[in-house]
Amino acid sequence: MERRLVTTILLLSLLAGATAAAASPGDLQGALRAAFGPGPRHVLQPAHPPGAAKGDNYGVARVELTFHPAVRSQRPGVLVPLGGERYGLVALETDLMGAHGSPGAVAVAYLRRGRTGWRLERAWPEFIWSGNNGNPADVIRVLTFAEAPLVVLDSDYVGQGQHTDTAWIIRLRGDRPEFLGRIPTGGSLESEECSDCWRYEYRGVIGPPRKRGDVLSVTYSGRVQMDDGRWRRLSQWTDYRSRDGELVPTRHVALPLP
């Protein structure tokens, strides 16, 4: 039963992601130009930007953000249908000069497509700051199991042999976007340099919430190495609910987080 449930959640996520890829490259580039213009943006990065966890401090700095991703194979954003000819544009603002721990930014715009092209309704540049190495996300996914689409911005970070995966979640409401928070979606520790560390590896699959009123659920699976060298299986799940601008688990999950 558990395996069947995880498979169902995975298929839902893949199908939702395929929905987001329907817009053509020309549509995306045209929407970007209509919303944010042609050139890079020179902005002031705040010390505690929206999207950061409590305690994160990036430092105030002037940065140049571009809508051309650092990874050539990566799309600069996605267009999400909002009904009729209205679309939500979620775009990656990359700081190409960003250091290892530096975030990028995520811009959001609502547009309407007409016969003569895109008409901007409203834009939210630097809506949140996320990611690392100046890159706000490695992958953008769209989940459509909720009434309002959920945009998932996946980012991974590697430091001192430790690998962590994080997802930032934005809900595209009819009148405005809403940042819901960020959640852990995977990790591993493979470093042999730390003799006192327990090695681990796990991943999380996002799916529909199991309880009414929650935003989404995550099923975690993996393994953790014990003191005697044997591996213990990790299998847990939890819903996440939005509370005070953060996504909080509704049940206890013991993940091997840093």
**For residue range 41-65, what is the model confidence (pLDDT) as tens digits?**
999 999 999 999 877 888 899 999 9
| Top-confidence range, 14-23, 166-175, 221-230 | 166-175
| Top-confidence range, 98-107, 170-179, 190-199 | 170-179
> Both tokens of residue 83?
């009904």
Which one is predicted more confidently, 217 or 2? 217
Evaluate if residue 1 carries a pLDDT over 80. no
Residue 157: how many other CB atoms lie within 10 Å: 16
Compute the distance between CA of residue 110 and CA of residue 119 in angstroms, rounded to an integer.
Answer: 9
Going by C-alpha positions, the residue among 182, 139, 184, 134 that lies closest to residue 162 is: 184
For the whole model, what pTM was predicted? Answer: 0.86
At 219 the pLDDT is 97
At 192 the pLDDT is 63
**DSSP annotation string for 162-222:** EEEEEEEEEEE-SSSEEEEEEEEEEEEE--SS-TTPPPEEEEEEEE--SSTT--EEEEEEE
CA distances from 145 to 13, 172, 183 (A): 9, 13, 18
**Domain map of the chain by residue range?**
2-249
The overall longest dimension of the chain from CA atoms, in Å, is 68
CA distances from 35 to 31, 44, 200, 202, 248 (A): 6, 19, 43, 38, 33
Going by C-alpha positions, the residue among 73, 61, 12 that lies closest to residue 207 is: 12
- E strand segments, 17-149: 41-45, 61-65, 77-83, 86-93, 104-114, 117-130, 139-143
The answer to whether residues 231 and 224 touch, using CB atoms and an 8 Å cutoff, is: yes
Compute the distance between CA of residue 151 and CA of residue 51 in angstroms, rounded to an integer.
Answer: 14
Compute the distance between CA of residue 230 and CA of residue 30 in angstroms, rounded to an integer.
Answer: 54
Q: Is 52 helix (H, G, I), strand (E, B) or coil?
A: coil
Which one is predicted more confidently, 40 or 257? 40
Which residue has tokens 């209205």?
A: 86
Evaluate if residue 25 carries a pLDDT over 70. no
Q: Give every CB contact of residue 101 below 8 A, 6+ residues apart in sequence.
A: 58, 132
Which one is predicted more confidently, 24 or 84? 84
At 6 the pLDDT is 39
At 107 the pLDDT is 97
Please state the rounded mean pLDDT for residues 146-171.
93
